[in-house]
């Protein structure tokens, strides 16, 4: 058994984000100046967290965000950032590079909701979910391979943390990490994170903080928005599986106050 926290961050803003243009996988623009500031603010917010493992999409906007976050980290200077194509944004096919409004119009013309519509050449939501599950399966194995020897003390306090999920959070960067010494950071993309949230809630029966509405759970993650989960892994006939998953918070943006004012 292994318990670890998973901190999930969306990349910083790009000019395409600001202009409401779809990027997907084929368009990979750099962080804008506000995006760089957001990444810096995220790094300062998380600077005292000792991340055991760090993963990022191999698209430059996510990779650069992860690099900036880790540059500010006090305790994780030697941790490698593993860039994984499985963390890439959803592919939007012919809609990439075009205004988001075009995607809505294409969906309306096909009689589908924008969320469920797949443009020609794009990925379906199910394909993204399968890609997400493939990444998580590899993540689980990596975490166990790297840290299972220290599990005798890594999970201490986890049950108390999850059982106390109804207690209001202190609003601190280390919320949910008490008593757990294995922590993973993952930097990815908006549509991918929304699919990941559905996988956690619908497939893994993730427990949620008291009072959190489902509309909030599935809402769009802001640039450098932060979500955190406590994951406990157990062996099964099909390999390592999450026996419990608890969401500590979603889409937190406390660190962006100075960027937005």
Q: Could you give the residue numbers annotated as active site?
A: 11, 89
Burial of 139 from C-beta contacts in 10 A (0-12 / 13-18 / 19+): buried
Which contacts of 103-110 are long-range, i.e. CB under 8 A and separated by 24 or more positions? 103/22
Residue 10 DSSP SS3: strand
- Residues 6 or more apart whose CB falls under 8 angstroms from that of 167 comprise none
Cα 140 to Cα 51, 137, 182, 233: the distances in Å are 15, 5, 12, 7
The two tokens of residue 129 are: 């979910």
């Amino acid at each position: 058994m292994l318990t670890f926290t998973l901190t999930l961050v969306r990349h910083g803003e790009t000019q395409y984000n600001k202009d409401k243009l779809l990027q997907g996988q084929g368009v990979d623009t750099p962080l804008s100046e506000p995006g760089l500031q957001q990444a810096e603010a995220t790094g300062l917010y998380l600077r005292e967290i000792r991340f055991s493992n760090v993963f990022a999409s191999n698209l430059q906007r996510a990779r650069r965000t992860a690099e900036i976050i880790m540059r500010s980290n006090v305790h994780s200077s030697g941790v490698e950032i593993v860039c994984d194509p499985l963390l890439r944004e959803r592919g939007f096919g012919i809609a990439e590079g075009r205004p988001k409004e075009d995607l809505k119009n294409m969906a309306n013309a096909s009689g589908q909701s924008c969320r469920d519509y797949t443009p020609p050449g794009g990925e379906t939501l199910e394909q993204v979910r399968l890609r997400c599950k493939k990444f998580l399966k590899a993540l689980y194995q990596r975490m166990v391979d790297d840290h299972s020897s220290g599990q005798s003390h890594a999970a201490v306090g986890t049950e108390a943390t999850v059982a106390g999920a109804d207690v209001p959070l202190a609003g601190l960067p280390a919320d949910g990490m008490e008593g757990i010494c294995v922590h993973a950071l993952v930097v990815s993309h908006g549509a991918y994170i929304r699919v990941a949230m559905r996988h956690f809630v619908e497939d893994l029966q993730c427990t949620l903080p008291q009072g959190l509405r489902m509309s909030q759970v599935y809402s769009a993650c802001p640039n450098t928005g932060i979500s955190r989960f406590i994951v406990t892994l157990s062996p099964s006939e099909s390999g390592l599986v999450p026996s419990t998953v608890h969401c500590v918070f979603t889409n937190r943006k406390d660190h962006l106050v100075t960027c937005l004012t």
